[in-house]
């Protein structure tokens, strides 16, 4: 990455973090989520549940117009992902120099009820084809290498599971009677490598998992922060591919950053091993 791209990334990061700090007051009133349901043309309001998929989608809809306005204010346009499974959610393209682009994924998660300093975590994109081959166009808006930075704009909230697990109907003049299914929003922006863990995300897909300690997420203190993005790239490019010996000397897949560091030290020391 050249000096122009580095300067642009630093400026974009600063602007995105400032923008993130403005969002909680747009989403909540007295700490509670302003959204209470959906309305029809007869002025009926239908409540929503605390299902995480529903909450996430509605949150994205709420902040999207604000993101578009933000992009314009800092001299960027936004490209949406061509398909639902494409990375990233948003591509910020500099209006003056289109070669400067930033990938931004929108993520939401909730605090654990028994430990409010910890969240349920989220995924940070795939470590598959487009990540290992930086010129690949498979499931990505532009080749990974063409982006000057990769960011996560995330929302962490308190989930009220006991509220409105079945849909109820209210009239618009009863909105203040509908309990909120989420509250206490915290919005952050970080480069994804700074909040990455060394474990895969949920499900069977090849996704990078995030750290879960909320103060560490806000400050960008992930597993790789003390080592740099090069180590993050190296680890996740080799995750699931690199074979290392177990206690009996039999090969098994790499499964922790500690193991990768031991391997990398060996590789740099005597050249007996080879990375992807």
> Annotated catalytic sites, by residue?
89, 105, 107
Exposed/middle/buried for 134, CB within 10 Å: 0-12, 13-18, 19+?
middle
Angle formed at CA 143 by CA 188 and CA 77, multiple of 5 degrees: 55
Comparing C-alpha atoms, which of 156, 153, 213 is closest to residue 183? 156
Strand partners, 28: 33
User: Three-state DSSP class for 134?
Assistant: coil
Contact indicator for 94, 141 with CB cutoff of 8 Å: no
Contact indicator for 155, 59 with CB cutoff of 8 Å: yes
Contact indicator for 218, 181 with CB cutoff of 8 Å: no
DSSP strand pairing (101-112 vs 149-159)? parallel
The helix (H) or strand (E) run that includes residue 241 is none
Comparing C-alpha atoms, which of 239, 247, 244 is closest to residue 263? 244
Cβ atoms < 10 Å from Cβ of 31:
11
Max Cα-Cα span within the chain: 74
Contact indicator for 252, 230 with CB cutoff of 8 Å: no
């Amino acid at each position: 990455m050249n000096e122009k791209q580095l300067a642009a990334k630093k400026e974009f990061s600063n602007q995105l973090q400032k923008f993130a700090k403005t969002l909680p007051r747009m989403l909540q009133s007295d700490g509670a989520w302003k959204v209470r349901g959906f309305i029809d043309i007869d002025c009926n309001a239908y409540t929503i549940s605390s299902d995480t998929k529903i909450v996430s989608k509605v949150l994205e809809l709420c902040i999207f117009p604000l993101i578009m306005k933000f992009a314009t204010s800092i001299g960027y346009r936004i490209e949406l992902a061509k398909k639902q499974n494409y990375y990233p959610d948003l591509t910020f393209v500099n209006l003056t120099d289109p070669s400067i682009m930033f990938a931004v994924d929108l993520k939401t998660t909730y605090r654990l009820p028994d430990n409010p300093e910890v969240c349920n975590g989220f995924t940070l994109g795939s470590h598959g084809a487009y990540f290992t081959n930086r010129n690949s166009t498979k499931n990505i808006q532009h080749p990974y290498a063409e982006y000057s930075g990769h960011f996560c704009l995330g929302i962490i909230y308190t989930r009220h599971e006991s509220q409105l697990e079945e849909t109820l109907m209210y009239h618009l003049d009863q909105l203040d009677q509908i309990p909120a299914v989420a509250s206490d929003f915290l919005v952050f922006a970080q480069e994804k490598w700074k909040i990455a863990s060394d474990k895969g995300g949920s499900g069977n897909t090849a996704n990078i998992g995030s750290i879960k300690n909320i103060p560490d997420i806000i400050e960008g203190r992930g597993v790789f922060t003390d080592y740099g993005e090069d180590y993050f790239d190296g680890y996740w490019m080799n995750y699931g591919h690199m074979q290392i010996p177990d206690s009996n000397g039999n090969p098994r897949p790499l499964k922790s950053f500690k193991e990768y560091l031991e391997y990398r030290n060996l590789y740099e020391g005597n050249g007996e091993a080879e990375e992807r």
